[in-house]
Chains A and B, each alone.
Chain A
Amino acid sequence: MLSVKNLHARIGEKEILKGINLEVRAGEVHAIMGPNGSGKSTLASVLAGRTDYEVVEGSVDFLGKDLLELAPEERAAEGLFLAFQYPVEIPGVSTTNFMKSAINEIRTYRGQDPMDAVQFLKMFKEKMAYVNIDQSLLSRALNEGFSGGEKKRNEIFQMAVLEPKLAILDETDSGLDIDALRIVAEGVNKLKTPQNATILVTHYQRLLDYIIPDFVHVLYKGKIVKSGNKDLALELEERGYDWIISALD
């Protein structure tokens, strides 16, 4: 589904990704872990198409398309989703209107007719029940004045509505208490199918107690320096990152 080859990216003069290789197939959950500043969030941002970063080398194939050639909205329409570490406040635009615009632009991109209000509302209600989110939150301006937990839950709700083929969750666990974490993780697990894939970007092992990864990768200084299965995450929890880093440096 996703094939990242020798990806180098920089912001300004600073090279942050220094040759990432990553293969993600349908049905898989990958966790990308690593110490602060290792390039985890940069990888997520580059895949989603944030223009602050310049890709200097490498390629990214997503379902047979050159991902790096696509605008962020085209990537979304192709089935990529990024759950933000810090969801952005959109003053004056409700989640409902926001999602209606998103769904219909994506449908237009895919050559489908736009959803009418009745269809949209029906779908919306189903998804609300699915991730257990309250109507009152959705009629408020998106993320404005939301608590950390509400913002993250809203991200998962948007993911449920958009049904991405590949979801990238950037530090979704940060700033969440244990109850909120559980709710968010349950949402992610429910949305998992054999046809879609998930990349979890996280600093801590905590989230991986709730969402079990098939693969764990350790990112350090812009490269994946170690890959393994879920046991690697447990080992990192126990021993920290130092034993990997010291073996490298």
Chain B
Amino acid sequence: MLEKTLVDSIKQNHSLTQAQQLALGKFIDKGFPTSKWEEWKYASLKHLNEFNWLWSPETLSVNFPKPDWKHSAIIQTLNGNTHSEGALPQGIALLSVSEFMAQNPTFESVWNARNPILDQNSLYDLNEALATDYAVLWVKKGVKIAEPLLHHYFVLGQQDTAVQSKIFIYLEEDSEITWFEQQRSESSHAILSNYVQDIWVSKNAHITLIKDQDLGQNITHVDHTFIFQQESSLVDAFTFSINAGYIRNNLHFYIDGPQVVSNLNGLYIPGEGQLMDTHSVVDHRMPHSESNELYKGVLMGNATGVFNGKIFVRPDAQKTNAFQSCKNVLASDRATMNTKPQLEIWADDVKCSHGTTTGQLSDEALFYMQSRGISKATAQTLLLLAFVQQVIDKLGHDEIRAELSDKIVNKIQASLGLTI
């Protein structure tokens, strides 16, 4: 089924380059990940093999509500096609990857040597084979934009649709942006939303990356975000997984220079019928760098959560500091959480720590609160909101923080039938 619909679709719609054909071959060989693949043990996508996918989604336009605080340009990716609405700030350009490479001829060899970890990732191959629009957001040297750039990532379909989106953010030296990505959907059919985002952070550059994942129940969203950091660069990443039938976040950090700081913050709050899986990779390839991971999860209904946090400290990466924390609350006795920290350390002069916990709300705390007149439902809400607040509070932008905080509070209260 899979092979036939794919081949038919390609014959009809477009010709593939040699690299794309190679990637397609790899995907057809492997198919969608199954629970037999170690990296997909709790997040099988085997059932996707059976769908009659539309592989070349239509380009449709949608009206996306603009947040009150956002006045200037918005970048949209609609079913894989990226464009900007309104004029982008001075020093920022949106162009195709071929134009970008033509203007940066020395970059291509650097790019080809980046060497990300792609084992057991057939969806990356699928994206490479079928993504037709590969846009680059180019932030020029020394350009610092205080106002967040808003990215509308949107998938929609009038039949079962597989969407491949691909975008590349290139920050030159000393530049600084905040990328606020709202991932949304509109479909009564199944959608595979397969998204590759590459980010190149040059020397002294700084990006704050905020992903607000609020998608429909029939959406399978696979997000590959690969970040390559050069000397003295800083990345503050936030992933808020709020809604979707299925979310898999492959968030990779490749630390390719000294004095790099990588901060990974994540919050996932799956409810009934939802699965949220985070696979993070922090690959310390160079010395004197620092990574901090803070992940929290609240699992409600019959939700499944997965956290796999890999930290590699390569032989050259002396004086590395790498910290990882993943804390989860099972707010329902039908919910499950699977955690696996995975540290591989080859350098000897490093500081690394990790800790994962999964538990329920403390009965002692609930009783203490009840003994003061607070109902059990309110006590649960107060404790859960306090638990998630630690991640939300790290967001620096007031409007974004308020918007996300409301949404997260509402989801938790609605899922647990709580009010406050």
Q: Which residues of A contact B (CB under 8 A)?
A: 48-51, 71-73, 75-77, 81-82, 84, 87-93, 97-99, 101-103, 105-106, 109, 141, 158, 162
Contact = CB atoms under 8 A, between A and B. Distances in A.
Contact of B382 (A48, A88, A93): A93
B368 interface: yes
Interface in B348-400: 362, 364-365, 367-376, 378, 382-383, 385-387, 389-390
Contacts of B364: 88
Contacts, number: 78
A235 B370 CA distance: 38
A245 B38 CA distance: 65
Given A88-B368, A91-B386, A92-B385, 11 more contacts: A72-B367, A72-B371, A73-B376, A76-B373, A88-B362, A99-B372, A101-B374, A101-B420, A103-B373, A109-B373, A162-B372
Contacts of A50: 367
B389 A92 contact: yes
A98 B387 CA distance: 15
Nearest to B385: A92
B246 to A, nearest CB: 30
B368 A102 contact: no
B374 A105 contact: yes
A105 B364 CA distance: 20
Contacts of A158: 372
Contacts of A72: 367, 370-371
12 contacts: A51-B367, A73-B371, A73-B375, A88-B364, A88-B367, A90-B386, A92-B385, A102-B372, A102-B374, A105-B373, A141-B386, A162-B372
A162 B369 CA distance: 13
A72 B378 CA distance: 13
B359 to A, nearest CB: 13
Contact of B368 (A51, A90, A141): A90
Nearest to B390: A92
B370 A76 contact: yes
Interface residues of B, number: 22
Contacts of B378: 101, 105
A162 B387 CA distance: 26
Dominant secondary structure at the B interface: helix
Best-surrounded residue of A82, A88, A109 (most CB of chain B within 10 A): A88
A106 B373 contact: yes
A49 B368 contact: no
B372 A92 contact: no
A109 B382 CA distance: 19
A49 B383 contact: no
Best-surrounded residue of B368, B375, B376, B387 (most CB of chain A within 10 A): B368
A157 to B, nearest CB: 12
Contact of A77 (B367, B369, B373): B373
Best-surrounded residue of A73, A91, A98, A158 (most CB of chain B within 10 A): A73
Given A88-B364, A93-B382, A49 B387 contact: no
Interface string B41-61: 000000000000000000000
Contacts of B372: 73, 76, 98-99, 102, 158, 162
The 6 closest A-B pairs by CB, nearest first: A92-B386, A76-B373, A72-B370, A88-B368, A106-B373, A102-B372
A29 to B, nearest CB: 21
A7 to B, nearest CB: 19
A141 B370 CA distance: 17
Contacts of A162: 372-373
Nearest to A86: B364
Contacts of B368: 84, 87-88, 90
Contacts of A71: 370, 375-376
Contacts of B370: 49, 71-73, 76
B375 A90 contact: no
Contacts of A84: 368, 371
A76 B389 contact: no
Nearest to B364: A88
Contacts of B382: 90, 93, 97-98, 101
Contacts of A102: 369, 372-374
Contact of B369 (A75, A90, A91, A109): A90
Given A50-B367, A84-B368, A101-B378, A90 B373 contact: no
B218 to A, nearest CB: 34
Contacts of B369: 90, 98, 102
